[in-house]
Structure 1
Amino acid sequence: MPEHSPSPTPERAIYGFVLYLLAFVLFFLYLVWAWVPDAWLHQLGLDYWPQKQWAIALPTFLCFCLLMSYPVYFGLTFLNSPPLTSREIIKDSHTIMQTDTRYQPESIPPLIDLSITEVNKRLYLHDPDTPMANK
C-alpha cells in the first residue's frame, strides 16, 4: 500500500490542471453568453442559450445560498447540541478522568478532562492579591 504524502501525485496534478483549464473555459463561455448580443450569437448558429436574466440571477442566487449556509450550519449545530441543563455538557462517554496522579515532575502531565468543581476552583476561587500565573 503506498504511503500517503501531502505532495500531489502526477495523476492528481493532471486532474487539477484539467479542472483549472475547464474552469477558465466555462467562465469564458459565461462571459460570452452574458455580454455578446443575441443577434450575434444567432448569426454564429448558437440558438439555444438561456435567457440573459439568468446571467445575473444565477450568481445572485449562488451568493445568497452561500450567505444562508452560515445560519443554517449554526442552526444545525444548536439543534444537535445537548441543552444547557443536560449533564452531557459536563461529562459524557468521551470524558477522560484522571485516575493516576503519579508522573514525573518534569514530564508533560497526561491529557485529562477537568471536573466542573476543579474548573470553578481554578477560575473563580483565587486570591485577588496573587496573580493567576503563580497558581
Structure 2
Amino acid sequence: MLLLGEMSNINPAPTPERAIYGFVLYLCSIFVFVLYVIWVFVPESWLHSIGLTYWPQKYWAVAIPVYLSVCFVFAQVFFFAFNLWNAPPLDTIKTFTDPHVRPACPMDSMPAADDIPINEINRHLYLDR
C-alpha cells in the first residue's frame, strides 16, 4: 500500500530500472515465442530424438490462441452490453442537471466529455433524428 508521501514519487518518466525490466520482458517474450514456434512446427519425432519428450499436445497450439481470441471478443460484447444495461433512461431523474453545466461547444471544437449533459448525449446517441 502506498503512503501519501510515496505517492508523490510516482513518475512515469523513463528510469534505468524500467529500461532493464522492459528489456528483460522483451527477451522473455522472444524466448517464449521461439519455444511456441518450435513446439508448433517441429515434428514430435524430432523433438523426441533430441530428448524433449514432455510437450503438450499440438491441439493446444491452436486451441489456446482461439480461446484467448474468443474471450477477447466476449469481453468486448459483455462490456458494451453492460454499459447499455446501466445507462439510465431519458426520462429518469438521474439525467437532470443543474444550471452550472456549460452547454455543448460549437461543431468546430472538441467538447469536454464531462461538460456535456447526459440528456443531450442520450438524445444524440439514442433518439432518431
Fold-level similarity (TM above 0.5): yes
User: Equivalent residue for 1:79?
Assistant: 85
User: Equivalent residue for 1:65?
Assistant: 71
Q: Find out whether 1:31 has 2:37 as its counterpart.
A: yes
TM-score by length of 2: 0.65
For the residue of structure 2 that corresponds to 1:58, the secondary structure is: helix
TM-score by length of 1: 0.63
User: Equivalent residue for 2:106?
Assistant: none
Q: Paired residues, what number?
A: 101
Give the structure with the higher percent helix.
2
Question: What displacement does 1:83 show?
Answer: 3.0
> Of residues 43, 54, 58 in structure 2, which corresponds to 1:48?
54
Q: Which amino acid aligns with 2:73?
A: L
| 1:19-51 deviation digits (Å, cap 9, x = unpaired) | 111100000000000000101111121111111
For the residue of structure 2 that corresponds to 1:56, the secondary structure is: helix
For the residue of structure 1 that corresponds to 2:52, the secondary structure is: coil
1: CA distance, partners of 2:116 / 2:35: 56
Greater Rg over alpha carbons, structure: 1
User: Equivalent residue for 1:7?
Assistant: 13
Q: Residues 79 and 21 (structure 1 numbering): CA distance in 2 closer, same or farther, change over 3 Å?
A: same
What percentage of residue pairs aligned between the two structures are identical?
A: 42
2: CA distance, partners of 1:23 / 1:45: 24
Q: Which amino acid aligns with 1:82?
A: P
Q: Find out whether 1:18 has 2:24 as its counterpart.
A: yes
1: CA distance, partners of 2:16 / 2:115: 43
2: CA distance, partners of 1:90 / 1:20: 50
Q: Residues 53 and 113 (structure 1 numbering): CA distance in 2 closer, same or farther, change over 3 Å?
A: closer
Q: Residues 13 and 85 (structure 1 numbering): CA distance in 2 closer, same or farther, change over 3 Å?
A: same
